[in-house]
Amino acid sequence: MLGPLLVLALAVATAPHPTLAAPADSATVAVSDTTPGRAPRGPYVMPPLGKGILDHLHNKLVHFPIVLGLAGLVLLVLAGRRPELLPVAHATIWLAAASAVAAYFSGRFLEEAFKGRPKEWLMQVHLRASTAVTLASGVWAVFVGLQPRRRGIALVLGVVVVVFIASAAYLGGLVAHGR
């Protein structure tokens, strides 16, 4: 167990890291990329807060169904021993479903940006996976709301939803960050 942790720690310690210079002003921080084979870049200028929040909104919203779906499943498991957690689990699952809808539609607004691009096919696969996440999250939330005593089925549905979430998140990561 300790071996992989030491390898990971060594990899992190020896990886190239960007170096930060002193801020030129309150909104500008100079970053020098020290990655081998890459030319240094100029300073990064932070956008205004509103623009920073609203630009690439999908990339921000997708984190909510991921975290809330996982938290909902964990809370549902814990509610087996602590029934007082059941209402919290239900609320979290409903929030996960609602945030999946928001993430889905914010992603649909980005669809045009991939037309004719090399990652268009990958975006289409991610779109299908995220459709499954949105629908499965909704089914899970409705089932939990209508059948609060059927915890076993709700747990199975939760595992399915979390697997869908992990798949869509992996594909989305490739769309956003893959080369």
Residue 5 predicted with pLDDT over 80: no
Element housing 94 (H / E): helix 86-108
Element housing 154 (H / E): helix 151-177
Same-domain pairing of 93 and 138: yes
Same-domain pairing of 41 and 59: no
Same-domain pairing of 57 and 30: no
- How confident is the model at residue 35, as a pLDDT? 57
Token output for 50: 């509103």
Residue 17 predicted with pLDDT over 70: no
Angstrom distance (rounded) from CA 5 to CA 179:
27
Question: What pTM does this model have?
Answer: 0.71
Angstrom distance (rounded) from CA 55 to CA 73:
31
Token output for 24: 């030129």
Q: Tens digit of pLDDT for each residue in 141-152? A: 999 988 877 888
Could you give phi then psi for residue 45, rounded to 5 degrees? -105, 120
Q: Nearest-5° angle of CA 100, CA 55, CA 44?
A: 130
Same-domain pairing of 106 and 81: yes
More confident residue, 136 or 45: 136
Q: pLDDT category, 100, cuts 50, 70, 90?
A: very high
- In the chain, how many domains are there? 2
